[in-house]
Amino acid sequence: MESNFVTVEFEALPQNQGFARAVCASYAGQLDPTLEELTEIKTAVSEAVSNAVIHGYERKGTGKIVMELKTMDQDKIFIKITDFGKGIRDVKKAMEPMFSTEEEREMSGMGFTVMESFADKVFVESEPGRGTAVTLIKYLDVYHGI
Ligand SMILES: Nc1ncnc2c1ncn2[C@@H]1O[C@H](COP(=O)(O)OP(=O)(O)O)[C@@H](O)[C@H]1O
Ligand SMILES: [Mg+2]
């Protein structure tokens, strides 16, 4: 299959989390994923986008989020979510289960853990004051149903 890519850019607003999920689900459709795989992709993407909105831009409601989608071979989907916000000082620490810089009860510190369990690979690049890029790679079981 030829390589295919899509890039979307959107404002860091909470309602765009649903938009980002829908874009990914729709895009992933071309690889004929299972419902479970779709749910996993959408959940991982939600966590990355909500982190950009809540932490990257500190809920300010403005700031650019770029989401790049690519298919790789016939069975891999690559999703990179970039913000140009606050950045993360210690990525290793931030990715530990239960670690959160937010006091609020809604934040559990499990976002990166969820991404790591639902995507096959998670890469985080970040620089304080410059922003954060999270790359999720999902391998799809192309032989389902055969
Ligand atoms: N895009 C981001 N920009 C800045 N900080 C981030 C970003 N994503 C994650 N973080 C930091 O990593 C921590 C852990 O993230 P996560 O595992 O999703 O837990 P939670 O969002 O519940 O705090 C956050 O509390 C925050 O400090
Ligand atoms: Mg989070």
pLDDT of residue 80: 98
Residue at 37: amino acid letter: E
Q: Is the pLDDT of residue 69 over 80?
A: yes
Contact 81, 52 (CB under 8 A): yes
SS3 128: coil
Share of the chain above pLDDT 90, in %: 86
Protein residue with least CA distance to atom 27, ligand 1: 101
Cβ of 19: how many Cβ atoms within 10 Å? 15
Location of structure tokens 């979510």: 81
Residue 145 pLDDT: 59
pLDDT surpassing 60 at residue 2: yes
What average pLDDT does the segment 1-5 reach? 76
Rounded to whole angstroms, the maximal C-alpha distance in the chain is: 49
* Binding site membership of 56 for ligand 1 (Cβ less than 6 Å): yes
- CA 98 / ligand 2 centre spacing (Å): 10
